[in-house]
Amino acid sequence: MTMLKRFEVTNFKQFKSLAWDFSKVRNYDFSMDCLIDSSHGKFVKTALVYGRNSSGKSNLGFALFDIVQHLVDKIKKPDAYIYYANADHPTEPVRFKYTFLLDGKEVVYSYSKTSSLDLLGESLFIDNEEVFLWDEIKKVHRFDRLSSFGFKNLNFVYKDSKLSFLRYLANNSPLSQDSPIRKLMNFVGSMLWFRRVDTGNSFMGLLSVSDHLDSFIISHGLTEKFEKFLNEHDVKEQIKVAKSPDGREGLYFAHKQSLPFFAAASSGTLALTVLFYWREALEMNKPSFIYMDKFDAFYHYEVAEKIFNLAKSLDIQCILTTHNTNLLKHANTRADCCFLLRNEIIKPFSDLTEREIREGNNLEKLFLSHEFEC
């Protein structure tokens, strides 16, 4: 089992300092499908993140996915990283620390940057043993332990601060299937962040190239399946493939006068289309970790619950940000898997109250009555 155990970030955007621990799990005996049960204990698998507008739910996702920007060649979102360091401390380094559990090994990867592209230092520890560490501020460069981890005869010259040594190590060394570094790179290369907003679809990670939604559906012969999916979610339309005046195949609503799907579809229907795309794409490209930002912004509450249950059915960690309190049912979730982000602090509901949470408690009512406060 591979998972993210803990994440820490300092001086990134609005976060002066924030830590998120996925291992703080209570002994509730309900909604166990929200957890990962491993030999190292239980961990949060499917999480709901709540917070007021501008609390940082989107920026938290960007912080988590900063690691994708410099370690792997996957789809990136550079506009999310233009304003990088905390505006009150713009000259101070931005620091990230990830603690992974990778098939029984605890791997801790830390790094600091001056911008999204410029590294100041990195370190890697496997089961508390240092693999390497370099820090330009402290003028420390420790690579002498690499041979004890099987990395011998490495001939490298540091060229510039934009080069990640971990990436260099992974790309220039023969790595066995059970190598923690190989597993780390595979995990990061399969992380996925996405959302649907009014300005269009947006995602990071997992794929090396992007694809038009209609091209994906048509080329994979999914038109009938897509129509059935929409019908099941109360969009009672027939869908067909037709050619536009310029000869390009696209999706259309099948009426007496055919309507171009993406020009005529409502925001909710487009949001469902994104969900369908990722549901099918995930079958072809297995993700390691998903962050769905504003996942239900355009969904009816019943549809949102279906999507949340779909997320729970995945055997990977899935984080969903939302304002939808209807999801706070113990049939859906549990207090240690629901998080409140406020004042640069993220904590599970279970840590924000003195009350003993029981299966019969109404989490939605407690949340709306401000029982859970950072």
pLDDT of residue 197: 53
Average pLDDT over residues 113-123: 93
Distance, in Å, from the CA atom of 252 to the CA atom of 244, rounded to the nearest integer, reads 10
pLDDT of residue 157: 58
Residue-averaged pLDDT of the chain: 89
Does the pLDDT value for residue 330 go beyond 80?
no
Q: What is the DSSP letter of 336?
A: G
Of 8-17, 161-170, 225-234, 336-345, which range is least confident? 161-170
Give the max Cα distance, the chain: 73
pLDDT of residue 31: 92
DSSP 35-80: EEEETTEEEE-EEEEE--TTSSHHHHHHHHTHHHHHHS-S---GGG
pLDDT of residue 123: 97
Does the pLDDT value for residue 89 go beyond 90?
yes
Q: What is the DSSP letter of 158?
A: -
The helix or strand, by DSSP H or E, that contains position 152, with its residue range, turns out to be none
Does the pLDDT value for residue 344 go beyond 50?
yes
pLDDT of residue 199: 45
Reported as a single tens digit per residue, the pLDDT across 20-47 is 999 999 999 999 999 999 888 999 999 9
Distance, in Å, from the CA atom of 3 to the CA atom of 184, rounded to the nearest integer, reads 10
Crossing angle of helices 267-284 and 301-313, rounded to 10° = 10
Bridge-partner residues for 345, per DSSP?
342
The answer to whether 102 and 182 are in contact (CB under 8 A) is no
Query: What distances in angstroms separate CA 371 from CA 54, 77, 321, 340, one per listed residue?
Result: 21, 37, 20, 11
Does the pLDDT value for residue 200 go beyond 60?
no
Does the pLDDT value for residue 202 go beyond 80?
no
Does the pLDDT value for residue 2 go beyond 80?
yes
Of 287, 354, 302, nearest in space to 332 by CA: 302
Crossing angle of helices 223-232 and 267-284, rounded to 10° = 130
The answer to whether 255 and 287 are in contact (CB under 8 A) is no
At 201, the pLDDT band (50, 70, 90 cuts) reads low
**Domain residue spans of the chain:** 2-205+285-368, 213-265
Judge residue 81's burial from the number of C-beta atoms within 10 Å of its C-beta, 0-12 exposed, 13-18 middle, 19 or more buried: buried
Does the pLDDT value for residue 317 go beyond 50?
yes
E-strand stretches of the chain: 2-12, 15-21, 35-38, 41-44, 46-50, 94-102, 105-113, 119-126, 129-135, 140-142, 191-197, 200-205, 239-243, 249-253, 259-260, 289-292, 317-321, 338-342, 345-348
pLDDT of residue 247: 81
In three-state secondary structure terms, 198 is coil
Please give the model's pTM, rounded to 2 decimal places: 0.89
pLDDT of residue 24: 92
pLDDT of residue 207: 67
Q: Which residue has the higher pLDDT, 74 or 95?
A: 95
Average pLDDT over residues 75-92: 92
Does 3.40.50.920 match the CATH number of domain 2-205+285-368? no
E-strand stretches of 143-248: 191-197, 200-205, 239-243
Does the pLDDT value for residue 198 go beyond 50?
no
The owner of tokens 């909710």 is 268
Reported as a single tens digit per residue, the pLDDT across 247-306 is 888 999 999 999 999 889 988 888 788 888 878 887 788 899 999 998 887 777 888 888
